[in-house]
Amino acid sequence: MATRIDKEACREAYNLVRDDNTEINWAAFKYEGHMIVPAGQGTDYEEFKSQCTDDVRLFGFVRITTGDAMSKRAKFTLITWIGENVSGLQRAKISTDKTLVKDIVQNFAKEFMISDPRELEEDYIRTELKKAGGANYDAQGE
């Protein structure tokens, strides 16, 4: 059976993360059978990380504030998490299922495909987003 997505619920979660007037900085989307649905949202990145377990595959849309001495800005990332114990068939399906998520999650600076919990560290994600962000004026102050 083909995977489907709850577009309305997922779009609502996505918009909460993008909204500058909320504290929400992450939303997760998980599989319930053949349906991708919101798996929660929050303000603490560690909460998001705690959902990324060995037996789960999910998508995360995360807001991280980056920048330098001259400007701070919100950057967004799409994280695809595939736990170590996810079956080969489920791993293979995730790349095609990601197109369903990308129909809703359209604006992000960088995309990550992660299976190693160490790559989920917030500092690693922030550094990669900063690299993708272009000009870095911190170097001028040194």
Per-residue pLDDT of the chain (142 residues; tens, 9 = 90+): 799 999 999 999 999 999 999 999 999 999 999 999 999 999 999 999 999 999 999 999 999 987 666 777 889 999 999 999 999 999 999 989 999 999 999 999 999 999 999 999 999 999 888 887 665 555 544 4
Residue 118 is given by DSSP the state: G
Distance of CA 68 to the CA centre of its chain: 22
Phi/psi at 2 (nearest 5 deg)? -75, 145
Return the SS3 of 98. helix
Closest CA to 81 of 71, 91, 68: 91
Q: Largest alpha-carbon pair distance within the chain?
A: 57
- Cβ-contact 111, 129 below 8 angstroms: no
What pTM, to 2 d.p., does this model score? 0.89
**Domains along the chain with CATH numbers:** 4-133 (3.40.20.10)
